[in-house]
Amino acid sequence: MIKTRITEMFGVETPLVMGGMTGVGVGPLVAAVANAGALGFITAHMFPSAEALEAEIKRTRDATDKPFGVNLTILPSLNPIPYDEYRRAIIESGIKIVETAGRNPVDHLPDFKANGVRVIHKCTSVRHSVSAANLGVDVISIDGFECAGHPGEDDIGLIVLLPATVDKVSIPVIASGGMADGRSLAAALALGAEGVNMGTRFMATQEAGIHENVKRRIVENTERDTLLTNRTLRNTARVAKNAISEEVVRIQQDVTKTIEDVRHLVAGVRGRTNVLEAGDLDGGIWTVGQSQGLIHDIPTCAELVKNIMRQAEDVLQRDARRIVA
């Protein structure tokens, strides 16, 4: 058994985390992750109202008595997102673990702190991690360049970014980006992490409520089957390589193009509806990390967590035997 500051802080059996994922982070998967001994997060902005979020929290509680949390991703949007109402719903529902991402969570921290809610904040750089720690977040989740979604603009891989972050903050750090198996966990622990965040890996599980075509494509793909979009807009996103993302990259080779030139292609609702729900792999943009190159099966969450922990323990014990007096 592997114990870390993450397992102790959050009362979970393993230092494995499934962070918030748009189109994926809903109650049944979060409950399955929790029942497997890991820490999962419902993605708040997938729900149209605080009341809908509260209902999803209740649905998750009905399926597990283990700890889980809610992700609050703070992003600019053409349509107002009810962040204050989400925060109220989180607190009133008794949730004690929140993962924040995107913009600085400073406006939400006082209420969370006053109500005993611990905050994990996702960052893509050392400097932002230091700022978040100084603001009073409880844990940093550091995203390396390998991650799905938004890796930031510094292009720093996790093998450098993780220990560099650990060196600068005193609070626990979770490794995110490229994590997919027990070797990943063992390596992250060796580099100073207290746990790992796995997004793409949990997408390829039996309980993930996405189309089987997507799960099979993750298994089939290699680490080379992603593209970076919106680089010229300094809003880089790592997504699956498909007809749509290739078209976006082609258009954005012209640096004068704006988001309006690709909005119809990159619309999140298009990816969720056409790809994640309907299974049309070329139907829109969908996010996936380079860790898909390490994913070769579609297990249950319980099988996945058990296999990861067994492999991590084997690696750590093997490496300990390499030390000769």
pLDDT value of residue 77 = 67
In angstroms, the CA 223 to CA 258 distance is 28
Listed by start position, the domains of the chain span 5-209+301-321, 222-287
| Beta strands, E only, the chain | 16-18, 39-43, 69-74, 97-102, 118-123, 139-143, 173-176, 195-197, 226-229, 237-240
Question: Of 138, 147, 208, 135, which Cα lies nearest the Cα of 175?
Answer: 147
- Interaxial angle between packed helices 158-168 and 126-135, expressed in degrees from 0 to 180 and rounded to the nearest 10: 30
Q: In what helix (H) or strand (E) does residue 263 lie, and over which residues does it extend?
A: helix 263-266
**Could you give the dihedral angle defined by the CA atoms of residues 36, 147, 221 and 314, in that order, rounded to the nearest 10 degrees?**
-50
In angstroms, the CA 84 to CA 190 distance is 38
pLDDT value of residue 268 = 86
Asked if residues 25 and 287 have their Cβ atoms less than 8 Å apart, the reply is no
| Sequence-distant (≥ 6) Cβ neighbours of residue 90 within 8 angstroms | 44, 53, 57, 70, 72, 98, 112, 117
In angstroms, the CA 198 to CA 161 distance is 17
Asked if residues 37 and 14 have their Cβ atoms less than 8 Å apart, the reply is yes
- Amino acid, single-letter form, for residue 73: T
Q: What three-state secondary structure class fits 119?
A: strand
Q: pLDDT of the chain along its 325 residues, tens only?
A: 899 999 999 999 999 999 999 999 999 999 999 999 999 999 999 999 999 999 999 999 999 999 999 999 998 665 788 999 999 999 999 999 999 999 889 999 999 999 999 999 999 999 999 999 999 999 999 999 999 999 999 999 999 999 999 999 999 999 999 999 999 999 999 999 999 999 999 999 999 999 999 999 999 999 999 999 999 999 999 999 999 999 999 999 999 999 999 999 998 889 999 999 999 999 999 999 999 999 999 999 999 999 999 999 999 999 999 988 7
Is 5-209+301-321 a CATH 3.30.465.10 domain? no
| Sequence-distant (≥ 6) Cβ neighbours of residue 314 within 8 angstroms | 182
Q: What three-state secondary structure class fits 69?
A: strand
pLDDT value of residue 121 = 98
DSSP 137-200: -SEEEEEPTTSSB---SS---HHHHHHHHHHH-SS-EEEESS--SHHHHHHHHHTT-SEEE-SH
In angstroms, the CA 277 to CA 140 distance is 31
Cross-strand pairs, 149:
238
C-beta neighbour count of 152 within 10 angstroms? 18
In angstroms, the CA 222 to CA 120 distance is 30
Question: Of 203, 219, 221, which Cα lies nearest the Cα of 276?
Answer: 203
Cross-strand pairs, 173:
140
